[in-house]
A and B are shown apart, each in its own frame.
Chain A
Amino acid sequence: MTLDRRSLLTGAAATAAAAIAVKTGGAEAAVKTAPADAVGLMYDTTLCIGCKTCVVACREANNKKPDTSNSNGLWDAPLDLNGQTKTIIKLYKDSDSPERSYFKTQCMHCVDPACVGACMIGALQKREKGIVTYKQEYCSGCRYCQVACPFEIPKFEWESKAPLMVKCELCNHRLAEGKLPGCVEVCPRHAVIYGTREALLAEAKKRIADHPGRYRGYKDGDPPRVFGETDGGGTQCLVLSHVPYEKLGLPALDETSQANATRSIQHGIYKGFIAPIALYAVLGAVVFRNKRAQDNDGGAA
C-alpha cells in the first residue's frame, strides 16, 4: 500500500492534464466559416409551383431510378429522400387554414457539416466550392452521418448488399462541365437558383427588403429572415419562405454548429495526442512498478 498515494496522485495529475487540454482545446477550436468560393442553392417557396420537374431532372442528372415502391410501380412517388432520391418536393398543408407551401428538400451543404465531422475517413467531405461531396471508396456504411445530420439528409441504400450513402452533391459533376445543377436548370420559375453563397444571400436579403410582408421568420411572428444564414453555423443552401420555417419541418438550430461543439471536445482531449500519450506514460510507469511489486509478492500474472 506504500505506493498508493503516489500512484493516485500521478493518476490525478494526468487526468487534470487531460482536463486542462479539454478546456484550452475548447477555446481553440475555431468556428468554421464558408470558403470564399462557396456555392449553393436558394429556394424560394413563393415561386415554387410544385411541378416536380426538379425531382425528375435530379434523377436524370444523377442517374437514379424512379422510386415507384409506394405506388405499385405506377409513379415516381417517393415519400421522402431515400437511397435513390436526392431531392423531393414536399407539401406543407395547414389543417385549420388555407396556408400551404411546397418545400424542396435536399442537402443544405452546411458551412460546418455534422456529417463531415462524423465521417471516419472522410467519405463525406467539403471539397471544391464548399460542396459536401461523397467518395464511396472511403465509406464502410457505418451511417454515423445519418445520426449526425440535423436535416436528415444522407440516406442509405438499405436494400442493397453493398450499400452506399446517397445525398445531393450539388451536381458537382455538372458544375465541372460548366452546367447548372439539374434542378436549377429545369426550374420553370427560378424557384431554385444557383450561385455563390455570398450572391445568394444578398439576393435573398434583397427579396426580403423588396417585398415587405411576403417572407417569414423561423416561428410565427418572427421577423423575416433567410434560413441558412446562421442556422446550425450556416448553410450554403438557403431558403426563403412565406410560411414560418418551423412549419416546413426545418429544425431549430443553434448559431454554432454541432460539429464545432463536438470537435472542441475531441480536439481538446486529443490535440496532438499529447494528453493520451502523457496519460499512457504515467499509467505505464505506475503499472510497471505495481505489477513488479505484486509479482515479487508471489502473485500470478
Chain B
Amino acid sequence: MSAVLHRPAPLGGPVVTKGARVLVVLAALGVAAMVTRFAVGLGGATALNDGYPWGLWIAFDVVTGTALGCGGYAVALLVYVLNKGEFHPAVRPALLTGALGYSLAAVSILLDVGRPWLLHRVPLYVSHWNTSSALFEVALCVMTYVAVLWIEVSPSFLDSWRKGPAGLKRTLGESFLPVVEKALPFVIALGLLLPTMHQSSLGTLMLLSGKKLHALWSTPLLPLLFLISSLAMGYAVVIFESTLSSVAFKRPREGKMLAALGKVVVPFLWAWAGIRLVDVVLRGKLAFFAKPDGYVLLFLVEIALIVVPAVMLASPERRADAGALFRAAILMILAGTLYRIDTFIVAFRPGAQYAYFPSLAEILATVGIVAIEILAYVWFVKRFPILTGAAPAHAAAASQVR
C-alpha cells in the first residue's frame, strides 16, 4: 500500500481568522439559544408541539448530523474491511468529523429531551431495558460510539502530547498511546459495528409511527435505506470536506483519492434510489403518482437528488473534475439531509391540525452547533496531525513532528 506517502501533520497557523470570528459569533448565538431552551423550557423556546414532538434538533442535528458523521465509518469500511489502503489519508479527518458530529448530536439530544438529567438511566437501568425499542438501541449505540470515535481519533493528539514538553499531557500520551494502539483494531471493529446498527435503527425509529408517516416513506426497508444512505452521505462528506480543506488550508488536493471515492459511492446511490423505487412499486403505492401532490413531488426531488450525482459520478472525467465532484458531494449531502428531514418531519403527518416549523431558537442552536463543529475541526487540524500533505510553508514543522 502507498499509505506511507501520506503522513498526517498539524497544519499550524493562526486559529483566530476572519472566518473563525464569524463562526464564534454564530456559536455564541447558538449557545444563547441553548441557554434560552433551559431557561424557558421546551414549550417556550421551540415550535415543537404534541403533534410534532420531534423537530429540527432530532431530524437534523441528531439524525442527519450523525449520518454526516458517518465519513469515518464509511472510509474505515473501505480501509479496514476491504483493505483499500489508498483511502487511508481520509480516515483521520473523517473520524474527527465523526467524533465532532456525534458529540454535538449528543449535545442536541441533551437539548431536546425534556429531562436530560435522567438520560444516564437509559444505559444504567439494565433490568428495565426495552430491547424492542429502536430508540433505546440508538441511544446506547450512539453513547458508545461517541466514546469509540474519540478513542479512534485519540492517537492524533496522544502522539502529539507524547512528543511535547514534559507534563500531564506528556504523561497521558506516554501511558495511553500504547494501550490505544493495541486496542485499536477492536475499537475500529466496534466503530464499524455500531454505526451499522444505529444508522439502520434510526430508520426503524419512524417505522413505529405507522400510518402517520406517509406511505411513500413508511416501509419496512427504512432501516436498510437509512444504512445505505448514511454510507453514501459518509463518502460525500469526506469528498466535501477534503475539497474544502484543501482550498481553505491551501493543501494539495487529494484528487486521485477523492475521484476513487466518487466511484465507490455510485453503487450506494443506485442501491438507495433503486430500493426506494422498487419498494414503492412492490408495496403497490404507485397510485400516489396518478394524483401528484406535494409529497409525490418531494419524493421525486429526493430521488433526483440521488440519481443526479449518481449519473454525474459515473463519468471518470467528472470525477476528476474537482468542481463537479464537489457539486456531486453537495447533492448527495442534500439528498441524505432531505430524506431524513422528510422522514422525520415533512412526511410525518400526525394530523392536518398540527403545524411545525422550527423556531428561531431551534435554528440558532442548530447553526451554532454546526459553527462549533467547524471551529473545533479547524482548531484540531491546525494543532494535531489530522490532515496529510500540509502546505509547503508548514512542511518543515510537519516533518519535524512526525
Contact = CB atoms under 8 A, between A and B. Distances in A.
A158 B41 CA distance: 7
Contacts of A298: 3-4
Interface stretch (B21-29, B182-190, B228-236, B301-309): B182-190
A279 B80 contact: no
Interface stretch (B126-134, B166-174, B270-278, B324-332): B126-134
Interface in B37-64: 38, 41-44, 48-51, 53-54
Nearest to A301: B155
Contact of B114 (A143, A251, A297): A143
Contacts of B189: 280, 283-284, 286-288
Contacts of B135: 118, 120, 142, 144
B50 A288 contact: no
Interface stretch (A42-50, A183-191, A235-243, A256-264): A256-264
B181 interface: yes
B40 to A, nearest CB: 8
A13 interface: no
A270 B115 contact: no
Contact of B53 (A117, A122, A156, A267): A156
A39 to B, nearest CB: 23
B396 interface: no
Name the residue in B53, B112, B193 with the highest tally of chain A Cβ atoms < 10 Å from its Cβ: B53
Interface residues of B, number: 74
A177 interface: no
A266 B53 contact: no
B207 interface: yes
B229 to A, nearest CB: 17
B113 interface: yes
Contacts of A114: 208-210
B79 to A, nearest CB: 7
A257 B207 CA distance: 12
Q: Which of A148, A254, A263 has the most CB of B within 10 A?
A: A148
A159 B132 contact: no
B264 interface: no
A119 interface: yes
B80 A286 contact: yes
Contacts of A144: 133, 135, 205, 208
Contacts of B186: 284, 287-288
B133 A299 contact: no
A251 B211 contact: yes
B133 A270 contact: no
A172 interface: no
Given A7-B81, A294-B79, A159 B208 contact: no
B147 interface: no
Interface stretch (B82-90, B99-107, B239-247, B289-297): B82-90
Given A140-B118, A286-B80, A294-B3, A258 B8 contact: no
Interface string A216-258: 0000000000000000000000000000000001011110001
B256 interface: no
B210 A291 contact: no
A121 interface: yes
B295 to A, nearest CB: 18
A265 B204 contact: yes
Contacts of B184: 291, 301
Contacts of B85: 294, 297, 299
Given A120-B136, A266-B131, 11 more contacts: A82-B50, A119-B130, A119-B133, A137-B121, A139-B118, A143-B114, A249-B351, A270-B137, A280-B189, A284-B185, A290-B81
